[in-house]
Each structure stands twice: as C-alpha cells, then as structure tokens.
Amino acid sequence: MSSVKLIEVKEAIMSDNDAAANDLRKRLSREKTFLVNLMASPGAGKTSLLLRTLAALKPDFNMAVIEADIDSVVDAEKIAATGVPSVQLRTGGFCHLDAAMVVKGLEAIDTASANLVFIENVGNLVCPAEFDTGAAMDIMILSVPEGDDKPLKYPLMFSKCRALLVNKIDLLPYSDFDMILFKQRVYQINAGIRIFEVSCTSGEGITDWTEWLKQSVNRFLEKP
C-alpha cells in the first residue's frame, strides 16, 4: 500500500512571505520610507479616514498610497484627486495583500521622495491579518455599526495592530455599541494597542490620531 505524502503548502507560503516582508522592511528602513498598512472590513471607512489623514499630514510629509481591491479603481481615483500619488492593485480575487504584491505597488511609486506610504488593504478582517506586508506599522479600523463583539470573532487582527481607530462614533447614540466593554475585550487581546475614537463625518478625534501618527513617523525618520 503506497504512503501518502503530506505537504503543508500554507506553511511554506507564509514562510516565504515572512522572509520577503522582512527584506522589504529593512529596505524601506534604509530608504527612510514609513509604510503603514490599513486594514478594515468593507464599509468601515478606510478611504474616508485615509482622506482625512492625508489632508492633515500633507504639510509634514511626502506621501503616496497603494490601494488594493479585488476589482475596482474607485478608491485610487479618490486619492489621486487630492494630489497624492496613488497606485491601484487589483488582486483578481485575492482577499489580501502580501509582501510581493506590495513590492509591485512600490515599484510604481517614487519611494526616494515619499517618506510616508499608506496601504489600503482589501476589505476583510481575516486574510489581511495573516499576511505580513512589510509595513512598519499595522493599523485597523472598526466602525460602530459593526458591533462591539468583533474582538471575540477576529482576535488575530486585533492582536497584531499597533493602533485601532473606532470610526463613526457619531452613530453611538443610535447604536447598542458598548465602548467600555469593547475596549476591555480589545485590551485582553492586545494590552499595548492605542485606541482612537474618531468620526470622519464630524472630524472628532482625527487630530489626536494624526498627531500620534506624525510623532511615530518622525521617530522612525530620525533614527540613524
């Protein structure tokens, strides 16, 4: 009776991606380019938050954006309209970006002159959390309408991010979202995460978020 060989394809893919991501991170560190990976569900407000962020930080940094979608250029067009260079990655069915895809996006950007680059990852709370993009910082956005139980359902996403933006807080009076309980759940997974309560509609909390990010980027750029 012949034996069956088992090949762990996912482990090999993840290992290769981790190596590529680490190489990219080292390269961007040498080039003094700070790469931010934004992750969220569809409709959480990634593009709206990004537009607010770009407007606030435009006087301080030379920025660019890598947009990722399964099949669309809508968000890239919105970013390009602000004057910030933008490249669209169409993943053709993939529900995430990996390091190799990000390298492709960076090839279309003059990283020598861009010291802050944002990735707007594919809208998803599962797959993007599994793949290292080579970013210096992972950020997630969760909107109030999504509910306060999401840390229980998607712990990996919450565990790997440096900061969490709770968007659409202007809807709190019309929702059963429990912010105190939500934060307790998040801190049980990731005690060091920074949480910002924001509204892209009213602008509440945006300054706190962008000032924190500005300080983080400046610390990175000042490293010898």
Q: 0.85 exceeded by the pTM?
A: yes
Please report whether residue 105 resides in a domain.
yes
Which pLDDT value is given to residue 10? 46
For 147, the token pair is 């509910």
Please report whether residue 107 resides in a domain.
yes
Higher pLDDT, 71 or 44: 44
Decide if pLDDT at 24 tops 90.
yes
Residue numbers of the domain that contains 55: 9-214
Beta strands 34-40 and 137-143 are parallel
CATH code, domain with 202: 3.40.50.300
Residue 204 is classified by DSSP as T
Please report whether residue 2 resides in a domain.
no
- Count up the domains in the chain and report the number: 1
Please report whether residue 32 resides in a domain.
yes
Decide if pLDDT at 90 tops 90.
no
Cα separation, 133 vs 128, whole angstroms: 9
Q: Which of 113, 131, 150 is nearest to 24 (CA)?
A: 131
Percent of the chain with pLDDT strictly greater than 90: 75
Q: How many helices (H) and strands (E) does the chain have?
A: 9, 7
Q: How confident is the model at residue 222 (pLDDT cuts 50, 70, 90)?
A: very high
Give the residue-averaged pLDDT of 19-31: 96
Please report whether residue 222 resides in a domain.
no
Q: What is the dihedral of CA 121, 163, 24, 125, to 10 degrees?
A: -30
Please report whether residue 63 resides in a domain.
yes
Range of 6-10, 35-39, 91-95 with top mean pLDDT: 35-39
Output the average pLDDT for the chain: 91
Please report whether residue 189 resides in a domain.
yes
Q: How confident is the model at residue 1 (pLDDT cuts 50, 70, 90)?
A: very low
Please report whether residue 106 resides in a domain.
yes
